[in-house]
Every structure is written in structure tokens, then in C-alpha cells.
Structure 1
Amino acid sequence: MPRPKIPRNICGRPADSCFKPNGIPMSQLVQVALAADEYEALRLVDLEGQQQQQAAVAMGVSRQTLANVLKRARFKVADCLTHGKALMMQN
């Protein structure tokens, strides 16, 4: 049984719930889910320019946990951009 997930502080919310390529119906797209903590890690580090240690403190997790979450989030965004998939934001 895996360890319970530590609650994370999430302050920002995405402006929209989905980003997808233009001109392709949603029913024809593969959907990739971006979790709320992944979005928050991207927002703090890549948009606000915080160091990973600062962002980890803001989210209430260790720096290594933040780095793992950030790596997953960046992979998902790159996958969607490269392969034309829909990026779905979760709460």
C-alpha cells in the first residue's frame, strides 16, 4: 500500500479547464490530465520564477517532491504540445 499523499497548498487556479489544438474536435483528441499540484508547481517555478526551494515551502512539500511533481508536469505539457493532445486541468 502506498504512503498517503501529503496535502499540498494550492493558491493558483488555471484560467481555463482545457487547452487543445485548434480545428480538431475534442472527441478526436487524446486527453492528458494535469493535476492541481502539477499546475501549481509550473506556476510557481516557471511563471513566477521562484527557486524550487521557495516553491516547495509555498506548497508545503519537500524540494525533492516538488522536483518530481514539476518533472511530471513539464513532461505532460511537452507531450501535449508535441503530439497535439488536449491538456485537461483537474481540481
Structure 2
Amino acid sequence: MARPKLPRNICGRPTNSCFKPNGIPVSELEEIQLELDEFEALRLVDLEGMQQQVAAIEMGVSRQTLANLVKSARKKVIDCIVNSKALKM
């Protein structure tokens, strides 16, 4: 049985709920879901420039958990860019 997920501190929220390639209707695109904790990890590390240890403390998670969130989020974002998919948040 998996451990229950601990609550995570999420301070930033996306201003838009979807990003997609121009000229292609959303109904024709595969959608990838970016979770709020993945969004927050990317925001803290990549946008705010925080070190992972500091960002992990800010979110209330371990450094390894934060690293896993960042890795997962980056993979989803690049998949959407390279393969013309919609990114839903």
C-alpha cells in the first residue's frame, strides 16, 4: 500500500489553464496534464532560480521529491513542445 501524499505548499498558480500549438484545435491535440505541484516545482527552480534544497523547504517536501517533480514537469513540457501536444494545468 502506498503512503498517503503529504500536503504541499503551492504559492504560485498558472494564469492560464492550457497552452497549445497555434492553428490546431484543442479537440485534435493529445493533452498532457501538468499537476499543480509540478508547476510549483518548475516555478521555484526554473523561474525563481531557487536551489532545489531551498525550493524543497518552501514546498514542504524532501529534496528528492522536489527533484522528481521537476524532472516529471520538464519531461511533460518538452513532450508538448516537441510533439505538438496541449499542456493542461
TM-score greater than 0.5 by the shorter chain: yes
What is the number of equivalent residue pairs in this alignment? 89
Q: What SS does structure 1 have at the residue aligned with 2:88?
A: strand
Partner residue, 1:13: 13
Partner residue, 1:38: 38
d(CA) in 2 for partners of 1:55 and 1:84? 30
Q: Displacement of 1:55 after TM fit?
A: 0.3
Amino acid at match of 2:35: A
Amino acid at match of 2:20: K
Amino acid at match of 2:83: H
d(CA) in 1 for partners of 2:85 and 2:77? 9
Point out where structure 2 has 5 or more consecutive residues left out of the alignment. none
Cα RMSD (Å) of the superposition? 0.4
d(CA) in 1 for partners of 2:27 and 2:68? 31
d(CA) in 1 for partners of 2:5 and 2:18? 25
Please tell me whether residue 66 in structure 1 is matched to residue 63 in structure 2: no
Q: Quick one: percent identity of the two aligned structures? A: 70
d(CA) in 1 for partners of 2:83 and 2:63? 30
Amino acid at match of 1:50: M
1:29-86 alpha-carbon deviations (Å, 9 max, x no partner)? 0000000000000000000000000000000000000000110000000000000000
d(CA) in 1 for partners of 2:84 and 2:2? 33
Q: What SS does structure 2 have at the residue aligned with 1:15?
A: coil
Q: What SS does structure 2 have at the residue aligned with 1:32?
A: strand
Partner residue, 2:51: 51
d(CA) in 2 for partners of 1:59 and 1:30? 30
